[in-house]
Amino acid sequence: MTSETMLRTPATLTRQPLQVRSKRSASDCVVELELVHPDGAALPGWQPGAHIELHLPSGLSRQYSLCGNPDDNSSYRLGILNDPTSRGGSSYVHTGLAEDDNLEVSGPRNNFELVESPEYHFLAAGIGVTPMMPMLDEAERRGARWKLTYMGRSRSSMAFWQELAAKYPGKIDIHPDDEFGFPDLGALLGKPRDGVKVYACGPEGLLRALEGICAGWPAGTLHLERFAPKDPAAAMAPAISFRVKLALSGMELEVPPGRSIVEVAEEAGAPVIFSCMEGTCGTCETRILSGEADHRDSVLSDEEKAANEMMMICVSRSKSDVLELEL
Amino acid sequence: MTETNILPEVIEAPVSGYDAFSLETLQDVHTFDGEQREIAPVVYMEKYGYYAITRYAEIQKALRDWRTFSSTDRPFYAPSAFRPRTLILEDPPEHTASKAAVFKVFDAENLAKMSTYFKAEAERLIDNLLADGPAEINAYTDLSVKYVLKVFPDVLGLPEEGRELLLKFGDAVFNVFGPPSDLQAAKLASGTEAMEWVESNTARDVQADGGIGWQLYSMADEGKISEHTAQQILKSIFAAGFDTTTASIASMIRAFADNPGEWQKLRENPGLVDNAWEEAIRLYPASRYGGRWATKETVLGGVRIPEGAKILTMWLGAGRDPRQYDAPDEFHVDRDLKNAHLSFGFGIHTCAGNQVARLEARTLLRAMVERIEKIELTGEPRKTVNYQAFGHDHVPVRLTPAVSA
């Protein structure tokens, strides 16, 4: 064994156990976590928009935006939604994790930096508020003009809104659907103009609507953070909804963004098997009968992907509106 | 893929006089299976009339193509009480229902519960071993077996008494798959002692409410599987869940004892724990081969396999295939495994308990990394002699505790 044969460790592998200093309810479906170094040591620094990855005991990894103060290196603050469709990531945080527990963490990393601008319009829906919180402080520090439109199902479901409203009176526009209905996004943004950056985080439907509206704005106006898919390959492509026809089971199902074919098919009672949920073990390989797969696994070769005959339904999706599978 | 493209390059499988089951072979399976791998991707083992797939890419391809490489028959197959047909000898759609049931009892929710318990026990065991400073132990019996036979049977809700019989049962199960011999006869005789214990502990009425067995029988009540299948799955968990993990963990500790620099590397970067475990089982898989049969004539790696051929998939050798891995005989905790090895199999028959095995081993390794400064061999490790299983049953080491911070 020589040093030449040793492979470099990618920075993404670096993990450290952090301790849960506090766990509090921040709304009827969001918990707020504060993580600290078990020895009280300083944590790596970060900028607004950054996220960390939690490596849960089940083997699942999940990314969550940092929503605390970047100048405070003693702890990381997170807001985590209890997602009813979770396969054990957020539900573990909600029900299994306790104060003083240790949790493996890697990061922080930032794919959502706040670029310089004289004016910002922040739009958040639901748990999408978390990356916005440090951005508001930063925009304020830069002396920029800004406002936040914060949408959600109801005030009881929306985390941190009182804190934000108290801190920045007049700049926070709270929009619960049960009080005001879904907002007119076009009217909210106004006419296309220069010198404003739009930052948004929320469900895929909102982000797609904003992409449509901002198509007429100067290039570079819109900055989006999508709720992170679980693997990097999937993060490269936008996740959109599609329909999947299960030929053997005689079902047709909608696969929404953020959910896998495996999850949707299993829930509907179709016979599926899967194990790694990351496109590596080959357990869920399924034959394609019609439609075009959007391959995101690490098993198929480029030729096999192009052949469009088989797919790994735990991570791969569809390029066509309908995908028919031998399932 | 069209016939005309393939035909000109197709060769018949080279005929090999290899006896994969002789006592000489079983002493050093990596060397002997490795020699066959370097002959061709598929060889014909004349002595038994079976084919062997020897290389990484071809095994992976065969395991993915279950329509051509079926699991419903295999070399040396004869009905045996040690090897129920459920799961391992099934193809879809039967396999899908059984496999979905077993994956369900090892789902994220159950794993999260196990995780907390495994961690506490792993830490306790190592703290006890190191209570009086450096400890000289047999890493197989004093660490691996002690840990595995504590945590997993506890999760399954098994009685304390008789747990060691699980190892005898597993040892017999992994020797069924091979030709009759004195070795096989001795292993089966030893396993027979365990049979009664296994039968009585897989029965419906002894399963604790909420336990793994109870969950399986509940699925039978819901009509998802038959009650017979529930019992067979539970038996399969007994058969495959102990011999394998105890062997793998002991082998992993041997790998670290042989490579002190790798232990230091892991101590400096504990984020590599998961990868280190995968690398250890690439080097030392717990299972040496699997079995399939060809439902039609096919070509694999340019070699013709006739319809009806019975096949061994030699994945232990494939773990050291130089076409897949650089310096394959070396152990590197930071090796880029490109997300894959074949030590849990691949495709629809991927080891049903892989997530539990991974959780057990990673949890133990993490506890060790935090607590142990040095692992040194104090004698010669001994490999097990077994047809299908591979492992170490004697790994004498000295563990030096880390100075606590």
pLDDT, tens digit (0-9, with 9 covering 90-100), for B37-73: 999 999 999 999 999 999 999 999 999 999 999 999 9
Q: Which residue has the higher pLDDT, B378 or A90?
A: B378
B181 touches chain A (CB under 8 A): no
Of A14, A92, A275, the CB nearest to B350: A275
Say if A10 falls within a structural domain: no
Give a three-class secondary structure readout of chain B: CCHHHHHHHCEECCEECCCCCCHHHHHCHHHHHHHHHCCCCEEEECCCCEEEECCHHHHHHHHHCCCCEECCCCCCCCCECCECCCCCCCCCCHHHHHHHHHHHHCCHHHHHHHHHHHHHHHHHHHHHHCCCCCEEEEHHHHHHHHHHHHHHHHHHCCCCCCCCHHHHHHHHHHHHCCCCCHHHHHHHHHHHHHHHHHHHHCCHHHCCCCCHHHHHHHHHHCCCCCHHHHHHHHHHHHHHCCHHHHHHHHHHHHHHHHCHHHHHHHHHCHHHHHHHHHHHHHHCCCECCEEEEECCCEEECCEEECCCCEEEECHHHHCCCCCCCCCCCCCCCCCCCCCCCCECECHHHCCCCHHHHHHHHHHHHHHHHHHEEEEEECCCCEECCCCCECCEEECEEEEEECCCC
Q: Please answer yes or no on whether A273 and B348 come within 8 Å at the CB atom.
A: yes
Residue of B nearest to A279 (CA): B339
Sort out which chain B residues have CB atoms less than 8 A from A106's CB and list them: 271
User: Which residue, A208, A226, A244, sits at the end of a domain?
Assistant: A226
Q: Are residues A42 and A128 in the same domain?
A: no
What percentage of chain A exceeds 90 in pLDDT?
50
pLDDT range class, residue A84, cuts 50, 70, 90 = low
| pLDDT tens, residue by residue, A11-50 | 333 678 899 999 999 998 899 999 999 888 888 888 999 9
Using the predicted structure, report yes or no on whether residue A230 has a pLDDT greater than 50: no
Say if A272 falls within a structural domain: yes
Q: Please answer yes or no on whether A14 and B103 come within 8 Å at the CB atom.
A: no
**A92, A230, A281: which to substitute to probe chain B, counting the most B Cβ within 10 Å?**
A281
Chain B residues 293-352 with a CB less than 8 Å from chain A: 326-327, 330-332, 334-336, 338-340, 344, 346-348, 350
Q: How far is B250 from chain A (nearest CA, A)?
A: 22
Q: CA-CA-CA-CA torsion for B113, B116, B122, B124, nearest 10 degrees? A: -130
What percentage of chain B exceeds 90 in pLDDT?
86
Contact call for residues B310 and A55 (beta carbons, < 8 A)? no
Q: How far apart are CA A71 and CA A40, in angstroms?
A: 16
Give a three-class secondary structure readout of A182-202: CCCHHHHHCCCCCCCEEEEEE
Contact call for residues B307 and B296 (beta carbons, < 8 A)? yes
Using the predicted structure, report yes or no on whether residue A229 has a pLDDT greater than 60: no
Question: Kindly report the CA angle at B170 between A274 and B285, in degrees rounded to 5?
Answer: 60
Q: Are residues A73 and A127 in the same domain?
A: no
Q: How far is B318 from chain A (nearest CA, A)?
A: 16
pLDDT at A2: 31
Q: Are residues A197 and A262 in the same domain?
A: no
Using the predicted structure, report yes or no on whether residue B367 has a pLDDT greater than 70: yes
Q: Are residues A106 and A127 in the same domain?
A: no
Q: How far apart are CA A322 and CA B72, in angstroms?
A: 34
β-pair partners for B303 = B11, B300
Q: How far is A213 from chain B (nearest CA, A)?
A: 40
Say if A8 falls within a structural domain: no
Of B100, B112, B355, the CB nearest to A273: B100
pLDDT at A14: 65
Of A5, A16, A57, the CB nearest to B115: A57
Sort out which chain A residues have CB atoms less than 8 A from B100's CB and list them: 266, 271-273
CATH code where residue A216 lies: 3.40.50.80
Taking Cα atoms as reference points, which of B316, B321, B320 lies closest to residue B247?
A: B316
| pLDDT tens, residue by residue, B306-335 | 999 999 999 999 999 999 999 999 999 999
Q: How far is A207 from chain B (nearest CA, A)?
A: 30
pLDDT at A239: 62
Cβ neighbours, 10 Å, residue A203: 17
The interface predicted TM-score (ipTM) is 0.87
Q: Please answer yes or no on whether A283 and B347 come within 8 Å at the CB atom.
A: yes
CATH number given to B3-78+109-158+245-401: 1.10.630.10
pLDDT at A88: 61
Q: Please answer yes or no on whether A271 and B271 come within 8 Å at the CB atom.
A: no
User: Which residue, A110, A128, A147, sits at the end of a domain?
Assistant: A110
Average pLDDT taken over every residue of chain A:
85
Q: Using CA of residue B365, residue B368, residue B374, residue B380, what is the dihedral sign? A: negative
Q: Where are the alpha helices (DSSP H) in chain A?
A: 90-95, 129-141, 161-167, 177-180, 185-189, 204-214, 232-236, 261-267, 302-307
**What's the domain range around A310?**
235-325
Using the predicted structure, report yes or no on whether residue A314 has a pLDDT greater than 70: yes
Q: Are residues A135 and A222 in the same domain?
A: yes
Q: Please answer yes or no on whether B346 and A282 come within 8 Å at the CB atom.
A: yes
Number of domains in chain A: 3
Using the predicted structure, report yes or no on whether residue A5 has a pLDDT greater than 90: no
Q: Which of A179-183, A259-263, B365-369 has the lowest mean pLDDT?
A: A179-183
The ranges assigned to domains in chain B are 3-78+109-158+245-401
pLDDT at A10: 28
Using the predicted structure, report yes or no on whether residue A231 has a pLDDT greater than 70: no
Taking Cα atoms as reference points, which of B373, B349, B387, B328 lies closest to residue B66?
A: B349
Residue contacts between A and B (CB atoms, under 8 Å): 112
| pLDDT tens, residue by residue, A134-144 | 999 999 999 99
Q: How far is B236 from chain A (nearest CA, A)?
A: 17
pLDDT at A86: 56
Q: Are residues A241 and A194 in the same domain?
A: no
Q: What is the mean pLDDT of residues B139-154?
A: 96
pLDDT range class, residue B79, cuts 50, 70, 90 = confident
Contact call for residues B143 and B215 (beta carbons, < 8 A)? no
User: Which residue, A110, A141, A164, sits at the end of a domain?
Assistant: A110
Say if A256 falls within a structural domain: yes
| pLDDT tens, residue by residue, B269-284 | 888 999 999 999 999 9
Of A8, A92, A274, the CB nearest to B112: A92
Q: Please answer yes or no on whether B347 and A56 come within 8 Å at the CB atom.
A: no
Q: What is the mean pLDDT of residues A215-225?
A: 86
Q: What is the mean pLDDT of residues A118-126?
A: 94
**A54, A275, A296, A312: which to substitute to probe chain B, counting the most B Cβ within 10 Å?**
A275
Say if A293 falls within a structural domain: yes
What is the pTM (predicted TM-score) of this model?
A: 0.70
Using the predicted structure, report yes or no on whether residue B116 has a pLDDT greater than 90: no
pLDDT at A16: 82
Q: Please answer yes or no on whether B347 and A285 come within 8 Å at the CB atom.
A: yes
